[in-house]
Structure 1
């Protein structure tokens, strides 16, 4: 991403717009995790939405493998969406309660017109196995699974499209610590096996230090520092808030 600016309408009596993120630039290599941290309201989710092109930037470029996603028309953008996929924070809320797990994982392929009725079911079973789930869970619905299992389903659904970049928006913050470790280990294994790039939004610095390669800190809509994760200091606050600064 280069010099990205996203604006929201101003609140109150002032007219016009206000920048939520302004001049944000970063890059992510294949096989690398870039963590994006900062206090609430810093622009982390807005930046993630711009990378996913869920919200087009007002200016700047979102470059993916040399193509500016922000400059593509609707048809060209649809063709690139399989390569950049999200994994959301809420493992239950991100899954349709009406669909069985098997159909949830198959849904992206159907939407993209890539579903093959002959090979598709075996592909779904393969994805369930890849994320560490028993294939028999494919017949269940989200409310019949644990939070950790639902997050694994969300990862399997993202992998169905054959992505090269995952946008992980607080993917473990709602999980118990023991379950959280399993999800992070899974993501690490998938990155090594599939050479995936990760944009990892997180407020827990202990997780960031052990999971990310580099860390970009957002403050008031701007990146104020980018540094190797190992350089995050090891004492003091373990989370980022509006009053506590996580990096030196």
Structure 2
């Protein structure tokens, strides 16, 4: 049997005396969407931060592609980070208001040393087209785009370094219903095309039922149940 793409074992996150994540375990396969569902304050976002090692867990293991990450130094993590990318809730706040969209999408390539001045602009245009944006939008700044367009640009940015896992932290909760469906359909199409694994943080049960393959319920930092929707992975067309 092959290793899961992501394997979280007995994860613990504490903030002082408060235990936000209390021995949470789950596994995620490539090409699968696993949703973390639960009320506000149940530990969903703290789990996401710990999975990405943006907040070091206080206990447990995070295994990605068979490799345990929590014991690695930041220098050792650096080459792995492009393969685990976040898409955040606030489509405007996740992009710098000072940068044009094309620069925001190009930034991960430059940080990772993958930028080539000869073909880099074409790569950015390709990424924008892949998420349903006209490459001409690359000349605009975030305030000149709608919320849905900004979220698409954020997804293009996350795809720039060819990740295997996207951690989607409430990626559509700030969007209206019609725009939300378009972004979820885009994510479903990208998953089919690229075989991405999605860790999907969401508190909207209707969205979870349509979009997730499996659901892990959290309450007060603990897993209370795991279930499969009746129509897993269905896009909202």
Q: With structure 1 as the length reference, what TM-score do the two structures score?
A: 0.89
Match of residue 73 from structure 2? 73
Question: Which segment is superposed worse, 196-205 or 113-122?
Answer: 113-122
Q: 2:61 touches 2:69 (CA, 8 Å); kept in 1?
A: yes
Deviations 1:174-210 (A, max 9, x none): 1010100000000000000000000001111111111
Match of 1:181 in 2: 181
Distance, in Å, in 2 between the alignment partners of 1:93 and 1:149 is 13
| Deviation digits for residues 64-114 of structure 1 (CA, Å, limit 9, x no counterpart) | 011111111111101100000000001011110000000000011111122
Listed as ranges, the gaps of 5+ residues in structure 1 are 10-16, 233-248
Shift of 1:170: 0.5
- Kept in 1, the 8 Å contact 2:210–2:231? The answer is no
User: What residue number does 1:13 align with?
Assistant: none
Q: Distance in 1 between matches of 2:202 and 2:46?
A: 14
| CA deviation string 1:17-48 (max 9, x = no partner) | 33110110001100000010111110000000
Corresponding residue SS for 1:93: coil
Alignment length (residue pairs): 225
| Counterpart secondary structure, 2:157 | helix
- State the partner residue of 2:164: 164
**Is residue 199 of structure 2 the alignment partner of residue 199 of structure 1?**
yes
Residue 236 of structure 1 corresponds to: none
Question: Which runs of no fewer than 5 residues in structure 2 stay unpaired?
Answer: 1-7, 233-237
Computed over aligned residues only, the root mean square deviation of the Cα atoms, in angstroms, reads 1.1
Q: Could you tell me the TM-score, scaled by structure 2's length?
A: 0.93
Shift of the alpha carbon at 1:230?
2.1
Cα distance in 1 for residues equivalent to 2:52 and 2:229: 24
Aligned match of 1:224: 224
